[in-house]
Structure 1
């Protein structure tokens, strides 16, 4: 039905965080939990809040799974929340107001997100505002088979509205209790990701370049102190780890050439590239950087198109 909202939450052994997540969206018109064979108290908690609980096989990459279950929702607008996230008390009022005021001009809305380490929000190194596309007209958004990548707005980037912080609705994401938990999850994501299978196209220097890039982008001690340096080092290490996993899965394996790759990788990160990523989104893949640039240009043209009233955001 027009204007009504379905919320979908995917779970897998989520008992520690699920109640806070579901109670923050208990105002929606339909609440659907998709459980991937939880073995703890997840289903018991979900039964207290959900209108429906759907069963799914465990999946190493959650993003692509979302598309299948979005088709199960009954209402026009879809709200997506992870089981370790929650919304503030005024979320219902803010989301309904967004749809009422901007639903005719936009199909999707990107909310800023606070990410926490040991209960403290991380404000630097590209971890804020960390916009997430979580409210959209069902059928207008598509996820790809990956882990924690932004979905594609298939009706076009000009149909996406990004909320401007700080005075707007936020997602709260208490990610990690400590650095060790962060490292363990990065290893899991890297091992369960997909990699190109053509040995001839493999260049370890590309992963080294990405490691240099992560060090440059993620270090902001003026906002997050030494934690910023620690997280930057973990993300640089993650880039190298992914390169080795990629190489290990190739058959035949090409030469690693790690010594020659070190200087080659360092030269692939010009200052202009770093500056552009800082401006448009440090955490994004390049395809999303380009999409963000196209979005900004289209919004600018849209605002100054003759005879068209400017949208207020």
Structure 2
């Protein structure tokens, strides 16, 4: 794939040409992460957060086989209601293009497309990782491979407790991916502010994060940077509570034979149900919070 295969909105293309700050956004949170209309409302709110901080949002998706870097409001609405959308990791993009399919892009696919477009900062909810029981299933997210191969910074709320967090951190270390916590010494666990494991590094300002990203990229390592930004305290769930809900959801998935791409959407829907909607509120809150930090980082990088 080459950059001329990408369809950029005029706004995104103009911003990139001028060196203005741009933040990439994934689309599986729209197609597979939340029910309608919460998915559309969240997508619009996240883009609004980025604009309010002085950056340009670029939601990335495949629309009828076309790679889109930036979506119109009408395209966001259509994507949010399209029940036939597939979930596309990096390996699925070519087939989606050939079949003229529409797809929500995962972290790995969004990173790859953002890099091709020249976008250096990407905001999401949480990244994929090593699933529990991976020593038997070999279920390890392509997000970790992409982070080790693509120089895009990913701002997230850590990883969900549905994953094996220490193994995930170990794979990130193996792939030479810096893990930097923002304003905390703890690595966050998506719905919860702390996972029980420390982050490798801590920085307390968007300016310092931007400087670290620039320094890392200048070393030519070719890897991404993972910025772990904890969910706002007022919307966080207690670790013990969310862990109990997740354990029940994983047991239900095992009993029903749910695996691979279907596993995470199944678990998230079950968690929303068992938490009486509080996990969805936390999810929306953390995504918006990550968008704000990513915009601040992009603005600081652009200013330099």
| Fold equivalence (TM over 0.5) | no
The structure with more helix, counted as a fraction of residues: 2
- TM-score scaled by structure 1? 0.29
Whose relative contact order is higher, 1 or 2, with alpha carbons under 8 Å and at least 6 apart? 2
- TM-score scaled by structure 2? 0.30
